[in-house]
Amino acid sequence: MGWPRHQPADITGRQRTGETSHELQELWRVAFEANPTMYFIVDEAGAIVSVNRLGAQQLGYAVGELVGQPVLNVFFEPDRAIVQKNADNCLRHPGRSFRWEARKVRKDGTMLWVRETANAVLLPDNRPVLLVGCEDVTERKHAEQALRDSEERFRTLVEFSFDVYWESDAQHRFTRQEYGPELADAPARRSELGKTRWEVPYLEPDEEAWRRHRATLDAHLPFRDFELARPTPDGGKRYVSVSGLPVFDETGAFVGYRGVGRHITESKLAEQALRQREKELREIVETMPAMVFVADASGRNSMGNRRWLEYAGLAPGAVGSPAPVHPDDDARYRAARAHSIATGEPFEQEVRLRRFDGEYRWFLSRAVPLRDDQGRILKWYGVLTDIHDRKVAEEERAAHVWFLERMDRINRAMQGTNDLEQMTSDVLDAVLEVFGCDRAWLVYPCDPGAPSWKAVMEHTRPQFSGAFALGADVPLSPDTASTFRAALAAEGAALVFDPHGLQVTASAERFGVLSQVATVVRPRVDRPYLFGLHQCSHARVWSEPEKRLVEEIGRRLEDVLTSLLIFRSLRESERKLEEAQRIGRMGYFEYDLGTQSLTLSDEACRIYGVEQHQLSSWQGRVLELVHAEDRDTLTGAIAAAAGRNGRFAVEFRALRPDGEVRIVHSRGEATGDAAQGLRAFGTLQDITQLRNAQEALRDAEAALARANRVTTLGVLAASIAHEVNQPLGAITTSAASCARWLAAEPPQMEKARSALQRIGADGKRAAHVVDRIRALVNRQAPRTARLDLGEAILEVVALTRNEVRRNAIVLDTSLAPDVPPIEGDRVQLQQVVLNLIVNAVEAMSGSGPATRELAIASSWDGANTVTVEVRDSGPGVDPDRADRLFEPFYTSKADGIGMGLSISRSIIEAHGGWLSVTPNLPSGAVFRFSLPVDPPVS
């Protein structure tokens, strides 16, 4: 860019009036160069003709770099237009000074402000040039700009941050108030001037707050955020926050305050709402079923809810540090926490925290940051959720999966063959792989009392030699016996031995055993084995899951060894089983009711009287082997059991082809239904001889009971004779009287008829006595009927009355009235009462002159039981022998046979009752029996 060309004014004459001397020019040059102000000489084309050294240095150039360059190049581009305009004016008005301010650009790109003063002059060759002096005003311009910026910032701060600007005098009276345009409920303009702040109507604060505020004002101190509440026309409150600075004149005298006020009603209401929300949030946090905490931006705890404080054992209101982290989780937890604090990412970790009592529990720790509007983290909010049960369940599940996977490998080795030796070899191979151990072995027998033992099988890794001589009998040493005892005492648990605890064929040191574990294997058909593992490459700590796996392998080996040992001796077992069936007369069967097909063992064939080869001819007509009267019973029992997929037990008569009947008891299981077909499987046992023996026993018991009754009646012979003689004597007397009444003249027929009626009644009474005695003596089958127990007892009392009287015994009979009838055999129950009365009479007959008392009583509990007591005052019963009184053939009498009480208890129990004996204080015994009433009373 060049300067625009102007027609310069004619100044030649004026310049030619004085002749410039060489010395003057030199002086001017020196002054030009030495002047502390930047000077430029610029021609009319805008090129720099000359510049002093200081000016060039201020712009960062050498003089030679500037001369000849367009002067506008050193100006800031936005200012070049104003510089061009002022240069043009200067060239149009020679001799007149022009001033302007512009920005120049240094060589390094920085700028400086200059105030330029320019004059247009003619050189000796009549060329016009501009002489430009440049004053550096950069600092002043920066100060002015800073002031403007500060004023603008202050204006903006006041305008946008405050609602009121105010000034007060030395007496604190308002002298100026300016309200922001956004303040909707501002007081009327100038309405509060001349008043102090406390003279304006207010609602808050209280007197104490005003006192402190006025003390601050009187002390001429600055104050900040003094809050007060003004009433509003609608009856509400307008909250204002006031701040002020004291003002002093140049002499230091206090002249008043200047300050601002902010309308804080919304913030106060929001603060109140926030406090309410915080209160509600706190209540929610306290009721949450989890531990809640708040931490500052650095992660330091600042608050915890009640659950957290209780867990950490902290007092209410305490902040404290978080509960100690489990040592195994600490490094991971701290690293994750530090990462979240550094990056602001949400935090989530599963960690074990120690409770105040020392127990560690698993928690899921989650925390999220609270940020301000600029994204800075203010706080961290976190929740600790108890996941201990889930983690324990997961760990147990992982351990269970680990256990199942390894047991599956072992099980496949066990199930791969039925050969005992091959199975053992495969299992030990699998054990080496599963445990990663160096030696696995099985020795037999694990018996500290055996004279010797041997290694059944041993497998090792190639780099380790065997510790046993396979199959060779080794004498039992004390160390080995001690090892066997320790293993057996462990009751199937895996027993971990120290490095020198298990010395079987040689010392552990010789074979490099650093750690070992073993368990006893107890097959059910043989003596125990000892199964164990050696670790030789390193000292190993056997974990609890590993020990449990060793135990389970031992248990599985027990089953497999049992099976294979049984399989090995199966034929011998079958032979023994067949012999056992024959001896026990028990066989097994399979029966299909639909097809009438039957499978029988050899012993079952013998029960039915058929041969195995004859069974095919009975298929389809199996029920013909069952007595016709028992077929429905058998099929019904099987069908009933099948309906519930359960067991059955039934007794029936087998009908052999030759006509012989055998009594059979069958037990088994039934499945299916009528549509699918019923199937049964079970056992058959010939109980013919048992039933015959039981029948013979019942006959013997009946005969014995009859003998007991006859013996008892023999004791009561005098009483029986008395009972019979009484009606016979009465008959004789009545017959004599009848004869006299008939012989009279005239005959007294009415009196004779009365005598005959008495004869008939006494005859019947005598017959009843004889019938009762005959029933007690005769052998007859039990007859069950409903009977009056009290009436039956009185009949027995009548038979024994004379015996009681003869022994000077006081008899008291107290029978409960209205007792419901019972279901039972009259004769058998009377035998019980008779035995008890006779025993009581005999017990008291040998006693001294003391009073002899016999009490017979009955009672009814109003429900389902009637009780009878026979109480005597004899010598009583030895408590240590009371239970033995009811044993067969046990007696306390010199001439007794010991069957009376045994038979009596059997009779009572057969009737659904019980019979017992207790002491009768101060002396004697009480025999008591109970019977159910019929029907039961509810």
Q: Domains in the chain and their CATH numbers? A: 12-144 (3.30.450.20), 162-269 (3.30.450.20), 288-386 (3.30.450.20), 397-568 (3.30.450.40), 578-682 (3.30.450.20), 687-781 (no CATH), 784-938 (3.30.565.10)
Give alpha helix (H) positions in 464-569.
478-489, 544-568
Q: How far apart are CA 149 and CA 801, in angstroms?
A: 140
Give the burial class of 562: count Cβ atoms within 10 A of its Cβ; 0-12 exposed, 13-18 middle, 19 or more buried.
Answer: middle
According to the model, what pLDDT value does residue 759 have? Answer: 80
According to the model, what pLDDT value does residue 69 have? Answer: 92
Give alpha helix (H) positions in 288-356.
306-312, 327-343
According to the model, what pLDDT value does residue 844 have? Answer: 83
225 SS3 class: strand
Contact 669, 681 (CB under 8 A): yes
Residue found by looking up tokens 């066990």 in the block: 414
How many CB atoms lie under 10 A from the CB of residue 931? Answer: 23
Q: How far apart are CA 305 and CA 309, in angstroms?
A: 6
Pairing verdict, β 360-371 and 377-386: antiparallel
Q: What is the pLDDT of residues 664-683, one digit of tens each?
A: 888 888 887 766 678 888 88
Q: How far apart are CA 797 and CA 790, in angstroms?
A: 10
CA dihedral 928, 933, 937, 938 (to 10 degrees): 60
* Predicted TM-score of the model (pTM): 0.34
> How does 842-861 read in b/e, with b if 16+ C-beta sit within 10 Å?
bbbeebeeeebbbbbbbbbe
Closest CA to 531 of 559, 550, 510: 550
According to the model, what pLDDT value does residue 773 have? Answer: 59
Using H for helix, E for strand and C for coil, what is the string for 364-390? EEEEEEEECCCCCEEEEEEEEEECHHH
Q: How far apart are CA 807 and CA 539, in angstroms?
A: 94
According to the model, what pLDDT value does residue 927 have? Answer: 92
Q: In the beta sheet, which residues pair with residue 247?
A: 256
562 SS3 class: helix
CA separation, residue 182 to residues 159, 162, 163, 185, 341 (Å): 10, 10, 7, 9, 41
Give the burial class of 5: count Cβ atoms within 10 A of its Cβ; 0-12 exposed, 13-18 middle, 19 or more buried.
Answer: exposed
Give the burial class of 464: count Cβ atoms within 10 A of its Cβ; 0-12 exposed, 13-18 middle, 19 or more buried.
Answer: middle
Q: DSSP state, 815? A: P
Q: How far apart are CA 517 and CA 508, in angstroms?
A: 13
According to the model, what pLDDT value does residue 938 have? Answer: 46
Q: What is the DSSP string of 1-59?
A: --PPP------HHHHHTSPPPHHHHHHHHHHHHH-SSEEEEEETTSBEEEE-HHHHHHT
Contact 905, 886 (CB under 8 A): yes
Contact 472, 456 (CB under 8 A): no
CA separation, residue 378 to residues 338, 345, 382, 931 (Å): 16, 14, 13, 88
Closest CA to 534 of 464, 439, 458, 432: 439
How many CB atoms lie under 10 A from the CB of residue 339? Answer: 12
Contact 820, 806 (CB under 8 A): no
Q: How far apart are CA 386 and CA 734, in angstroms?
A: 105
Closest CA to 379 of 477, 298, 310, 439: 298
Closest CA to 683 of 714, 733, 652, 649: 649
Within the chain, which residues score under 50 in pLDDT?
Answer: 1-2, 4-22, 24, 499-507, 715, 718, 779, 894, 937-938
Q: How far apart are CA 5 and CA 116, in angstroms?
A: 21
Contact 864, 933 (CB under 8 A): yes
Q: How far apart are CA 209 and CA 223, in angstroms?
A: 13
Interacting residues of 715 by C-beta distance below 8 A, sequence separation 6+: 803, 838, 842
Q: DSSP state, 626? A: B
Residue found by looking up tokens 């949450």 in the block: 288
